[in-house]
Amino acid sequence: MSDRITLAVLGGSALATPLLFEGMAKAKAAASYEAVLYGRDAERLDLVARVSNDLLARHPGVDIRVRATTDLDEAVDGADYIANQMRVGGLEGRLFDETFPRPFGLPGEETVGPGGFNNTRRGLPVVLDACRRIEARAPQALLLNLTNPSSLIQYAIRRYTKVRVIGTCDSPVSLMKMLAAQLGVPREDIAFALSGMHHFTWVTGMRVQGRERLAEILERAHELPKLGVDPDLIRALGAIPSPYFRYYAHPDRILAMTEGRPVRAQELMAVQEQMLAEFRRWKPGEKIAALQARGAVWYDEIVVPTLLAMAEHKTVELVLSVDNGEALPWLPPQAIIEAPVPIRGGVPGKPRAADLPEDLRALIHRNAAYEMLAVEAIVENDRARALRALMANLMVRSYNQARGLLDVIWPEAAPRALTIQRPSPTADEPMKAPTLHYGDRLLESVRLPEDDIALITMEEPWELARHRLGLKPKAIAFVRELDWFKLEALERQLPEVSAIVGLGGGTPTDAAKYVAWRRHLPVDVFPSITSVDAAVTKSIAARSGGHVTYIGYIVPRQVYVDTTLIAAAPGRLNRSGVGDILCAHAALWDWKLAHDSRGERYDPAAVDATRRWLERIRSGADEIRNVTPAGIRLIMEAFEDISLICRRFGSSRPQEASDHTFAYNAEFQTGKSFLHGELVALGTFVMASLQENDPAQLASDYERTGLLWQPRDLGLTREEFVKTLRTLNAYQKNFGRRYSVLDERKVGEAFIESMAARLAF
């Protein structure tokens, strides 16, 4: 009889699986383990097993052996523990789950909402079949479930099989770590009160040395944008939700932020392709860069701690998904809840559930009803119960939505009613781009196909244009802010029209694009300044919770560059646009760093094309400084072409990274508004200095083009500048959109002092 603990891994061909064993090694697993990987792809299984054993060989103090099999019975036979991470349908199935709800006005996601329902419907029969094998060959085994939607899978296992199961998810661990960081207190020093369900858990208390600290977090809810939930709503609820609550609170916003962009499944497909190529090239002793880039935090954060606590008879408390029993007396005892679970000597005890206010109880009760109805409908092939389940789902708002969704994902009862559109342009699709017109009398001469238009502008450009404009708007709206709530109010207040026109800089242009996007109308733009590229991009800049976010997918139809109008604006406003072009100087350096350090996809052609624009801007510096028609055209053409470069690549990576992070943090820390290009220019200089990337070239470019960038000119005090730099690494960690120099270099006091000494305040 072997003393080894046998661990079966279902879905063991997943390329991230070696990180499970690395996690066990880093946690200094004390027992001896025999790990058996099960999957259907023999080649990938063999690769994963060989990479895993090679990785473990670097940890001689750990006794873990890994082998692989395509025979499920062999994999589970006599297993002590089973990790279930099967993804039925692969990433292609996930892609469908993330896209099919969109025509119904709902975002797609693989665990919550209609996407989660369909993921369950596809995967549950396979999981239950595996559990029947486990019942026969390893009745004593404990199954750790990683397969999503985790609580639905777990409820089905508990209701329809005799297999013992516990659910693991890193989401509550990550949430607790984030909140602890906000307090500046180690997570282990905080007694968290939390309860809920998988991806629907709430933190209702945080005690540090006997003192309740949750109120401090609620007050600073605007510093938690990764939750994706409006800070005013968090404060009103008096509890911190799981990040997945945003799918219920703001489904329209998530839909807006993902439209026209690759969904997560598409990103993972690219990562998986890169990983598989590296696995196939791999030789023993080598590291696989893409494996580290992919990451698999769930192993380190919760799967490994749970496995070792059970297998090695430890005493610890972990947040897990378990049977409710009597923990939350207002929920059915058979419901699956997520709560802290004390483990003593490897034996889990009763969950330590926190008290919750009545409104949150009602939401959780409804979510539990949905999960139980969904599982029962799928297992018992009951379409009527499936309709009830979708009606109970918190994301579905109407019967028509539920009925339409069901027609798509229950094909044996009704043919698929919709053709699912790909979520972003691909190489075989034409890329939409606006047509730019240049002239000095365009305001007078332009005529649009539509007679009834709404004009969105600001007071200053309107005063310059009102007596020249040949169009006669049905309605005129003035905007000064891009707060999401105000954009929504603007769209509701405008009368019914056939087209939208934006007149002004970035704010009225983005507002016009928002209204046109929401109403599915054409939008034309008259830029009044060359300060930002909003007139030529596909996204809309909006503010939510004090942070800039990019939403929607709409490209202006026509852009009329009236050089007389633009030249009438203060020259400073027009020159500021140069900062949003020259920022590529730092962004391209960051991109190469991310490629070298993390294996991030890199496009030399995009880099070369962007660098050519930096040279063209330098060559046309005099025209830009003097705001000549040639200088105006040069900036607008640069905006247009760099926008297309970014769209061909699939993101704004060629144009922004640490430079924009500096700018966003400066606005966040000061609460002030700045000219975007000027603030980005300052950020580019500072980050180029941190990169040791020829900041002198930038200073020369700024001087020659007449771009203002010194803190004194921007209205940024020395104290504000120092605060921005001192918080920059933390801001990047919490809110950064792109891997950059800030992920590898500390902005220390010596650097801050040297920068402050070189700048003018």
pLDDT band at 332 (very low <50, low <70, confident <90, very high): very high
Rounded mean pLDDT, 670-686? 93
| Residue 674 Cα distances to 667, 678, 681, angstroms | 8, 8, 11
> Which DSSP symbol is given to 324?
-
What is the number of structural domains in the chain? 3
| Average pLDDT of the chain, as a whole number | 92
- Position 429 in a domain: no
Contact 213/206 with Cβ under 8 angstroms? yes
Rounded mean pLDDT, 303-329? 96
- 């633009």: which residue's tokens? 566
Do 462 and 403 lie in one domain? The reply is no
Res. 415: pLDDT tops 50? no
CATH code, domain with 510: 3.40.50.1970
- Position 665 in a domain: yes
Last residue of one domain, picked from the residues 522, 551, 569: 569
Do 402 and 439 lie in one domain? The reply is no
pLDDT single digits (tens) 254-269: 888 777 778 889 888 9
Contact 12/84 with Cβ under 8 angstroms? no
Do 384 and 291 lie in one domain? The reply is yes
- Position 454 in a domain: yes
Do 451 and 401 lie in one domain? The reply is no
Q: What's the count of helices (H) and strands (E) in the chain, helices before strands? A: 36, 21
pLDDT single digits (tens) 641-674: 999 999 888 788 999 999 999 999 999 899 898 9
Res. 723: pLDDT tops 90? yes
CATH code, domain with 49: 3.90.1820.10
Do 96 and 196 lie in one domain? The reply is yes
Lowest-confidence region among 202-211, 223-232, 602-611? 223-232
Q: pLDDT at position 738, please?
A: 87
Domain that holds residue 712: 649-758
Do 48 and 119 lie in one domain? The reply is yes
pLDDT single digits (tens) 73-94: 999 999 999 999 999 999 999 9
pLDDT band at 421 (very low <50, low <70, confident <90, very high): very low
- Position 728 in a domain: yes
- Position 189 in a domain: yes
Q: pLDDT at position 429, please?
A: 44
Do 662 and 517 lie in one domain? The reply is no
Q: pLDDT at position 649, please?
A: 87
Report how far Cα 37 is from the mean position of its chain's Cα atoms: 31
- Position 599 in a domain: no
Write the DSSP assignment of 163-175 as a string of letters. Answer: -EEEE--SHHHHH
Q: pLDDT at position 412, please?
A: 61
Rounded mean pLDDT, 360-388? 96
373-411 residues labelled b (16+ CB within 10 A) or e (exposed)? bbbbbbbeeeeebbbbbbbbbbbbeeeebbebbbebbbe
- Position 582 in a domain: no
Res. 452: pLDDT tops 90? yes
Contact 553/260 with Cβ under 8 angstroms? yes
Do 310 and 454 lie in one domain? The reply is no
Rounded mean pLDDT, 403-422? 64
Last residue of one domain, picked from the residues 569, 584, 614: 569
Percent of the chain predicted with pLDDT > 90: 82
pLDDT band at 734 (very low <50, low <70, confident <90, very high): confident
Do 562 and 709 lie in one domain? The reply is no
**What separation, in Å, do the N-terminal and C-terminal C-alpha atoms of the chain show?**
76
Do 459 and 389 lie in one domain? The reply is no
Q: pLDDT at position 364, please?
A: 97
Q: How far apart are CA 3 and CA 702, in angstroms?
A: 70
- Position 621 in a domain: no
CATH code, domain with 666: 1.20.1090.10
- 């001689």: which residue's tokens? 60
DSSP 3-state of 466: coil
Percent of the chain predicted with pLDDT > 70: 96
Res. 431: pLDDT tops 70? no
